[in-house]
């Protein structure tokens, strides 16, 4: 979440709320300079799983929630891994691999 938070700050977003509890979404509620609200979903996976993939059915439900609140949805997939092998655990305060391709705008139109 730190990488995503720094990216959001660098893009000029102001944080309204931050939620770091597991399986609670959105992780960030932000506003831009036009006071548009954004719900930011951060999904962290262990590499080699693709962090850019998300559950489409779940996302449709979340998009409905965002539309009700007049918010836009941003998605940030983050992959982390142990540099010594995929099967090894990742430890806090030790070197790790990261795959982060930035923030994606998720269209809130229904599919």
Do the bridges between strand 97-100 and strand 104-106 make them parallel or antiparallel, or are there none, so unpaired? unpaired
99 three-state secondary structure: strand
Containing 71, the helix (H) or strand (E) segment is: strand 71-81
d(CA 109, CA 51): 23
14 three-state secondary structure: strand
d(CA 26, CA 74): 9
- Domain regions of the chain by residue span: 2-106
pLDDT digit of tens for each residue in the chain (111 aa)?
889 999 999 999 999 999 888 777 778 999 999 999 999 999 999 999 999 999 999 899 899 999 999 999 999 999 999 999 989 999 988 999 999 999 999 987 654
CB-based contact 65:29 (threshold 8 Å):
no
Predicted pLDDT at 110: 54
- Cα 74 to chain centroid distance, Å, stands at 7
Query: Top-level CATH class of 2-106?
Result: alpha beta
Predicted pLDDT at 20: 83
């Amino acid at each position: 979440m730190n990488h995503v938070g720094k990216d959001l700050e660098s893009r000029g977003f102001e944080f309204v709320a931050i939620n770091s509890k597991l399986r609670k979404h959105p992780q960030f509620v932000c506003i831009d300079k036009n006071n548009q609200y954004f719900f930011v979903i951060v999904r962290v996976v262990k590499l080699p799983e693709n962090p850019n993939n998300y559950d489409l059915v779940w996302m449709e439900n979340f998009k409905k929630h965002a539309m009700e609140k007049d918010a836009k949805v941003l998605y940030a997939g983050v992959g982390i891994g142990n540099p010594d092998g995929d099967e090894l655990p990742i430890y806090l305060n030790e070197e790790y691999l990261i795959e982060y391709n930035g923030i994606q705008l998720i269209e809130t139109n229904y599919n």
